[in-house]
Chain A
Amino acid sequence: MTVNDDDRQFVAEYVLGTLPAALRLMTRTRISDEPDIADVARMWERRLAPLHELAVPIAPPADLWADIAVSLIPPPIPLTPEEEEEIKKGLPALQDAFAVPNKAEAGDNEPVLAEPLGDMAPGVQARLKKWRWTAILLGVALVGGGSVFAYREWDRYTDLHYFASLQAERSAAVLVRVGVRDGDILVRPFLDPAPAGQTYQLWLVPDGQPARSLGTFSSGFTARSDILRRLGPKGAAKAMLQVTLEPGSGSDVVPTGEVLYSGRLLPE
């Protein structure tokens, strides 16, 4: 098991339910993507699930089962007028081709669900995932006001880990977690691939100072940065993170592209 204590704590709190929305989102992606993290999640689920025995059973709304059942039964496949005409003519092959299934089959016209997406084409999966994340992240943005609460304890906070949701408008697109003690960076983007010949680049913008590159990325990555280590908690409190689209393998010195996403660091 290669999961460090910090991550084990996060996963346990994910299962327990105490993580705020953005951290919960990031942890869920890691459970989905990293088998070792998923193993820890399963372990905590087994440990905590027995508490359900003490929960009070309550009769659900009378119409809920009907509501669920309707969602499980695939609707008939609509036919074009030409197809209906062909069927009226009695072409057996077409009748077979457009037959309405008698029972629900896995994945057939089912409601949009979070998991799994394994039966779909990769392009469809990517689009569905993107929209799913967009929906979830919009929700995160809606509850973002709650993060103001975190500032109350800003000066007294000692754990030295920060979280940022970099977004344009209200749609978050890049989640970043940094530790200013060790300079750790964990980035989870929810973006389309960068255009050919360009790359996304993450920048740290300390208060009143020029931007400094924290690295380029096309997918999630982890890294360590001396820049973050030197920043310290006070610097982190006033710093911004930005994402730009840069030509080639990225810009060496200053951002040259437009800022696509930006956000402040919030203490966890």
Chain B
Amino acid sequence: MGAVARHGTGTAVTRSERLRPIIADVADRRLDAMERLYQLSSPKLYGLCLRILRRPELAKSALKTAYLKIWKGARTLPADLDPLYWMVCIVRESALETARTNEDAGESWEPFEVEEPAEDPLAEGTHSDQLKRLLACLGTLSEERRRMVLLAFYDGWSREALSVYFDAPMHTVNTWLKRSVAEIDEQLSK
């Protein structure tokens, strides 16, 4: 999966190889494994939650819900999927549900700034090939549509929020999104 870590023996271990046995132990209801998984992944996953929700108490609640789903669904981790991708999807879904169903979770129009980023135990020196391919694909979109996709992913903005931010009618935003999805689909299907 692209992300590689080197341990003391010099053996290259991918992030997926590192996480998969831990999640297998989580599936066996081992709390120590769950704590290890939390230690490794929570800085990245909390960062995703907080950027979407902006309010720490909401981000905390959404992340807790996500980890409970991970605990409950550890047996369902697809064999061919990077475990971190799987967790990222669960966490984003939890944060988006909180954002869409909580009347206090309005969009923040301010740029997301972090004074003290945490250390990411799963960080790798280089970006994965999947990310590079996706970024190359996004690079072919117009600047507005590229920003729209990235704001939707990172900030969790809905069609309505994008319409306000870009000062564009809703049907224009829908058309932009539709074209963006179609073009990404076409390029990544090759």
Cβ–Cβ contact B159 & A19, under 8 A: yes
Cβ–Cβ contact A64 & B63, under 8 A: yes
| 8 Å CB contact of A158 from B60, B72, B81, B171 | B171
Is A123 on the interface with B (CB-CB < 8 A)? Answer: no
- Smallest CB–CB gap between A72 and chain B, Å? 6
Cβ–Cβ contact B131 & A115, under 8 A: no
Chain A residues positioned under 8 Å from B29 (CB to CB): 103-106
Chain A residues positioned under 8 Å from B63 (CB to CB): 60, 64
- Smallest CB–CB gap between A29 and chain B, Å? 13
| 8 Å CB contact of B153 from A17, A110, A156, A268 | A17
- How many of B's residues come within 8 Å of A, CB to CB? 79
Chain B residues positioned under 8 Å from A140 (CB to CB): 100-101
- Smallest CB–CB gap between A201 and chain B, Å? 30
Cβ–Cβ contact A24 & B96, under 8 A: yes
Chain A residues positioned under 8 Å from B130 (CB to CB): 46, 50
Within 8 A of A (CB), among B97-120: 97, 100-103, 112, 114, 116-120
Is B162 on the interface with A (CB-CB < 8 A)? Answer: yes
Is A223 on the interface with B (CB-CB < 8 A)? Answer: no
Within 8 A of B (CB), among A9-37: 9, 12-13, 15-21, 24
Chain A residues positioned under 8 Å from B171 (CB to CB): 153, 156-159
Give the number of residue pairs across the A-B interface with Cβ within 8 Å.
Answer: 202
Cβ–Cβ contact B123 & A16, under 8 A: no
Task: Answer whether A65 and B38 are a contact pair too, CB < 8 Å, given A49-B85, A57-B44, A58-B46.
Answer: yes
Task: Answer whether A61 and B60 are a contact pair too, CB < 8 Å, given A13-B177, A71-B68, A153-B171.
Answer: yes
Cβ–Cβ contact A156 & B169, under 8 A: yes
Chain B residues positioned under 8 Å from A139 (CB to CB): 100-102
Chain B residue with the shortest CB-CB distance to A108:
B29
A-B contact pairs, 5 of them (CB 8 A): A8-B181, A20-B160, A24-B97, A115-B72, A157-B170
Task: List 13 other contacts, CB 8 Å, given A136-B97, A153-B169.
Answer: A8-B185, A16-B153, A52-B88, A55-B51, A57-B46, A57-B117, A58-B118, A60-B42, A61-B60, A113-B65, A142-B101, A157-B170, A267-B170
Interface residues of A (CB under 8 A from B): 8-9, 12-13, 15-21, 24, 42, 45-61, 64-65, 67-69, 71-73, 103-106, 110-111, 113-116, 136, 139-140, 142-143, 146, 149-150, 152-153, 156-159, 267-268
